[in-house]
Every structure is written in C-alpha cells, then in structure tokens.
Structure 1
C-alpha cells in the first residue's frame, strides 16, 4: 500500500514539475471531449425539438387531402380533380382493417369573425367529435363539443388561443357571442397554445361542429359533393403499420373515386410517422458521424500524450537509471509511467465532460421553456460513456508504451545518459 502511495505521489510530482506541458496536453483532450459532447448534445436537442413539434400535431397522424387523378399514370395532363367526403371517412372507419381512428374536417379561411369588441380573420374549422383523439387540441377553458352539439347542429364555437385574444382583448370570452359571416355563435371553450415560435396559424383558428359547418358553410366549388371535406386524418393500429394502413386507405379511396390505387400521383398526403423516422435517421447519422470524428480526435490526443510521455522518458533517463540502481523494480517504473499517462487522459476527460455538462445546463437554464423549433442541448449518456471508454483505451495505450520503454532501460546505460 505504501509503495502504491509513493508511486501516485511521484506521478503527481512529475505532472506538477511540467505544469505548462501538462496543462496544454490536458487542455487539448478536454477540449476535444467537451466539443464532442456539445455537438452530439446539440444534435439531440434538435432531434427532441423536431419530435416535440410533430407531437404538437397529434400522435401517429396520417393526413390526406383531395387530389387529382392523371388520365395516364405518371402524366400530369388531363388530370381530374376529386374531393374527399364524409362518406369516405365512414368507409375508412368501417373497411380499413389497419386503421384505428379517422376524422374529417372542413377548413375555410374566407369567413369573417366579429365580436362586440373586435374582428378576426383566422380560419374556421368544422370538426367531428373525435378530432382531439387524433389531433392535439388541449383545452385551456370551457369544454369541447359533445354528441348533442353535432346531432342538433348547435351554434357553438371554440376559440384558438390567438383568436381569443384578438376577439376578446382583456375580457372573458366563455358564454359570450361572436358572429361568423353574420351567423351568431356562443363561445363554449378556448384552446390552449399549440406549437412554438411565431407560427400562429394553429392558434388563430375557430372550431365549430362539422354538422353545423356543413349546414352553414359547406365546401365551395363546382361539381363537388355536398358532404365534401377539406381533409381526412387517421391513425394506423400501430406506428409500425403506417404503410399497411395507407394501402388500405388508398384502396378504399381509389374504389370510391374511380381510379386504380397504384396511381400514387392521385394521393395528396403527409405521413407524420414516416417524417419522424426520417428525421430520426438523419440525426442518428449525424450522431454516428460526430461520434466518429470525436473518437479520431481523442485518438490524436492520445498520440500527443504518447509523444509527450516518450519525451518525458528521454528527459528522465538518468533518474530512471538511478532509481533502478537503488533498487526500484521494473514493475514500479512501469506502473509510475503508466499511471502518469492514464492520469493525464482520465483527468482531462472528466474535466471535459464536466465542462460540457455545465455549459449545456447553463444553456438550458437560459433558454428555459423555449418556443423555438429545438430543445436545449443535453448531455447524452451514451456519448459520455463512449468518450470515457475511448479515453480509457487511449490512456492505456498512451501510458503503457512509454512505460514499457522506461522499464526496459538498463541501470548502467541509463546512468551514462546526459
């Protein structure tokens, strides 16, 4: 135990004797570790922010809109437009085996909303009872629609967060009345803020029952069905069955509108599940790339430490010879130089990890509950483990090779060195 204590004391004395060289060596490795963790942490912040942004839309949502049917596959001349309908939605609910839920809505942005205090021009959406089951619609005040609201075509409205402020600035809105293109509606609820940043389109919406919307403000255009809707949005049974669910829906829509389901150009849709996977793959590739660059950087740092330790062995050749002549064993010499190299890399790595963690914590505190499209960078456990593992390996290599050179010196030959 005493011998081990003496070895550690000698290691620290040796490091302290060359302060500038030790500092520069440790700084280079600590900088590399901190940079690696920060880059991966930033990537994970962007990944988390993108996931959170998609989650604001809803869970496992696939969105479909009316499209145009090409006269010939892969041709864009003589295309015939078609509109989705409420009957299409019912067919998807009953016939699509791999769809767990589906909803339809009408979205119109040409309807003027007026209260006794102000006016607004946000979009008006006619929605079904199950809309919040598929799309994110958090209620801040009041209530959502019930079955009687839709069955009786009630004149009730739910305001988006921004529209609530515009139509009732500094005043209570629940129970109050507004007009939509002259029709009088009572406010029964207010939606909490949706999304982040300056994109207020989701928050400047009004929601009314779909049955009321179809009665008062149906879809406009020539030769379109009376039950036309702007969009059908649905969820697969599980996220892994998104392609199977889309195939079911394509088959149903194609049969009902008179074209082949293999004509992909006829479908206008957005699969948020696929988008999330694509974003995940991009950021995973970035993590792998950055991790590889970080490992190479740390390996180069280890080469630097090996070089410095070899220089140290050369400088201390006479000292090594004297110690061996006085009875020091090759094992103790080996252990001293090995621990010195390992200490330099290990201490540098810990400092780098702590510096990166502190900086990321500070950035997170500064950003707080940000409304931007990305989250604060965060320390990713696997990147810290990878950095420590790489540093340990580098430390072993950086300490073992110079240590073996030192231990192999013969006392007589070492004492002759100047």
Structure 2
C-alpha cells in the first residue's frame, strides 16, 4: 500500500464521518489555541515588565532612604530624611565608573493654567536626570545646570499635563502655577506611555532640584538618588562602593543596620524576567492539558473506528495487506486529525490573542516558538494516541475479522 494511497484513504474515512471527526479535532483545536493565547499573554506581561524597568534607564542604581529590612511601623513614602543632597555629590565625586548622578524629590501638587487645573507629580531633579532616564524633549529644552544653581522657577512638563492644561496650544513660554507659585514652562517631554503597573509616565512636571527643595517643598533632604553606571559588568562593584561610602558618611559602624537602600535595576529586571518566564510556562502548561484531553479523544474515536471497520480490515489483510500497511493506515488517520486540528488551533489562538490585546487592555506577543511547539505537540499527540488503536487493527486475525458482523 503506497503512502499516498494511505493518505487518500485516511481523508476518505474522516470525510465519511464529518461531525465525529470535527468533534474529535475540537480538543486539539482548543488545546493549541489556548496554548498560543496563554503564552502570548505571558510574553506580553514579560515585555511590559522589561520595557517598564528599561524605561527607568540602563545600568541604573537607585539609592533611597531607609532600610528594606527595618521592622516596626513604616513611615509614609519620602518621610525619612537621612539621605542628603551632599550624599549625591559625594557619590559623583568619589565613586568610579559612574556616568551620571541625579538626586530627586517628588510630591503631588495642583497645577493651574488660566482656568484649567490638573493634579500631577512634581519632581525636582538635576540635568543629569534626562540622560539617566533616557528622556527626550519634543519642544523647548530641559532644566539646565544654570537653572539649578540659580533656583529658577522653570518647569518641563509631560505630554499628559500639556494636553490637559493647554490642549493644542504650545505650552513653551507659558506660565503655570504649582502650589500657587509661578513657574515658566521651558519644555515638553516626549511621551513614554504607561509603565507595566499602569502608571502614566507622562503625567509629570519636572523642575530644578534646588528650586523644588528650597522654594517649593521646603526640605533639606532628597527622596532618592538615581545613578547610571558606565559598565553593566561593574554594577555590583559600584553598588558595593556606594554602600561603603554612605555607611562612612552616615557614621554607621559595626553591625548596625544601614539607613539607606541601594537597588540594582539590572538585577531587578533579571528577577522579574525569570518570574514572568515561569508564569508563561505555567500558563502554557495549564493550557497544554487540553491537548492531552484532545489526544485521549483521538484514541477513543480511533478505537471506535477500528471496531466499525473490523470487516474491512479483514478483507484487506486477506488480500495481502501487511501489519505495517494497516498500522500506517490508522496512524495516518490519527495524525491527520492532529495536523488539521493544529492548523485550525493556530488560527484560533492567534485570533484570540489579537482580540485579547485589542479589547482586554493587555499587551500580547505572538512568537514563532509557541506556535511551532504547540503544532508539533498536536501532531505528536495524534501519533502517540493513534499507536494503540493502529496496533489493535493491525493484529486482527483476518479470519475472525471476516466473520465480524
């Protein structure tokens, strides 16, 4: 029996029972579609997390006040005052392998322009913040060293603030009021969109650090220090040097607990990436269970097919069909079910993934690997669960098969 003839007979047998064949394929279709959709959602989450952390800046360390291990009642964000502007200056002057250092402070204020108002986060930073965070100015300019030294009342606003306060009017050169104090808008930032946590990164007003500390917020400490390391391979060394320097400056000796915390964003990205990868594998594995169920369905229907066609098998064996011929015939039928089900499942999975991305406010990423793996698995399932029915058919005694009614 030729291989081509076996395929022809397999299609003929499947077409003879269209509804039964479709219901058998349904488990494979749902399984492949679910695997592709779930993995695409997981990959989307991973992409969002990586992009969000990357948007903070490359090779970045963040120094914040307070220890992550400190117990007891936690104070409000920014309530600890042990991290000073001079600490940031010391880090910039004394630590090697650092490109930029930018201390920052932040609070929420009502921003007013004419009869329009908008509540936004106001950040005080130094000019280096633009390079650390990879910010770009679409119109105007960023805060300068001169603005910081002179404590100028100037502001750079995000696109969300610009849209809500100015509409289609160019904000550059206009005056706004922050906490009832006048500030001149000197620039508008390029949009960065939402973070993975849903935070609008464009809803921000940036002013010179000294202006924010002395004229706006009346504070003598900073909320955090953003540091860009020149070489990713030296991140751990730079982090260790910063910790040693700050312990010396804050007079922390012996086994006393640090009153600051240095976060390595590269390590955080790796950890989050590993976590989301495990989540993706988990989602794909759960969806893959339906593929196994679909395989059991294939085995069940092929067993029924062998029983229904017992007399046909007896006739073919009597006419000279060998064990291998009968095996091939039924294996091809089960594999065809897996192949067709897999192809339909790929279409369904990709379509479902795009619908989730469009209407579910999720980022979905479809990559070739899960498509190929799920399709190969569907074909393998058809082959594996078709072996037992095929062997049963091939081992039938032709004389007993011919007697079967």
TM-score by length of 2: 0.84
2:394 aligned residue (386, 407, 412): 407
Q: Distance in 2 between matches of 1:155 and 1:74?
A: 37
Correspondences of 1:69-80 after superposition (within 5 Å): none
- 2:94 aligned partner: 95
Q: Structure 1 residue 385: deviation in Å?
A: 2.3
- 1:31 aligned partner: 30
Deviates more, 1:113-122 or 1:51-60: 113-122
- After superposition, the C-alpha distances for 1:218-254 in whole angstroms (9 at most, x for unaligned) are 643xxx5xxx333211134455655443322221111
Q: Distance in 1 between matches of 2:255 and 2:367?
A: 43
- 1:46 aligned partner: 45
- 1:252 aligned partner: 245
- 1:135 aligned partner: 133
- After superposition, the C-alpha distances for 1:232-284 in whole angstroms (9 at most, x for unaligned) are 11134455655443322221111111114865552245544444333323322
Q: Distance in 1 between matches of 2:382 and 2:129?
A: 58
Deviates more, 1:12-21 or 1:387-396: 387-396
Q: Distance in 1 between matches of 2:26 and 2:57?
A: 46
Partner secondary structure for residue 347 of structure 2: helix
Q: Structure 1 residue 105: deviation in Å?
A: 2.3
Q: Structure 1 residue 187: deviation in Å?
A: 2.1
- After superposition, the C-alpha distances for 1:307-351 in whole angstroms (9 at most, x for unaligned) are 322232222121111122223333332221111111111211121
Q: Structure 1 residue 134: deviation in Å?
A: 1.4
Could you tell me whether the CA contact under 8 Å between 2:155 and 2:206 is conserved in 1? yes
Partner secondary structure for residue 379 of structure 1: coil
Could you tell me whether the CA contact under 8 Å between 2:38 and 2:287 is conserved in 1? no
Could you tell me whether the CA contact under 8 Å between 2:27 and 2:293 is conserved in 1? no
Q: Structure 1 residue 76: deviation in Å?
A: 5.6
Could you tell me whether the CA contact under 8 Å between 2:158 and 2:204 is conserved in 1? yes
- After superposition, the C-alpha distances for 1:186-236 in whole angstroms (9 at most, x for unaligned) are 32211234442897775443323334445644643xxx5xxx333211134
1:383 aligned residue (370, 394, 401): 370
Q: Distance in 2 between matches of 1:148 and 1:304?
A: 74
Q: Structure 1 residue 109: deviation in Å?
A: 4.2
Stretches of structure 1 that go unaligned for 5 or more consecutive residues are: none
Q: Structure 1 residue 119: deviation in Å?
A: 5.1
Stretches of structure 2 that go unaligned for 5 or more consecutive residues are: none
- The root-mean-square deviation of aligned C-alpha atoms, in Å, is 3.5
Could you tell me whether the CA contact under 8 Å between 2:153 and 2:182 is conserved in 1? yes
Q: Which structure exhibits the higher relative contact order, with contacts defined as CA atoms closer than 8 Å and separated by 6 or more residues?
A: 2
1:230 aligned residue (223, 227, 239): 223
C-alpha spacing 1:314/1:210, structure 2 compared with 1 (3 Å): same
C-alpha spacing 1:25/1:64, structure 2 compared with 1 (3 Å): same
2:301 aligned residue (304, 308, 320): 308
Could you tell me whether the CA contact under 8 Å between 1:321 and 1:412 is conserved in 2? yes
Could you tell me whether the CA contact under 8 Å between 2:31 and 2:289 is conserved in 1? no
Q: Distance in 2 between matches of 1:238 and 1:264?
A: 29
Partner secondary structure for residue 103 of structure 2: strand
Correspondences of 1:330-409 after superposition (within 5 Å): 330-366=323-359, 374-375=362-363, 377-409=364-396
C-alpha spacing 1:193/1:323, structure 2 compared with 1 (3 Å): same
C-alpha spacing 1:26/1:204, structure 2 compared with 1 (3 Å): closer
- 1:417 aligned partner: 404
Q: Distance in 2 between matches of 1:180 and 1:319?
A: 88
- After superposition, the C-alpha distances for 1:19-47 in whole angstroms (9 at most, x for unaligned) are 23211111111112211222222222222
Aligned length: 400
TM-score by length of 1: 0.81
* Shift >6 Å, 4+ stretches: 197-201
Q: Distance in 2 between matches of 1:199 and 1:15?
A: 49
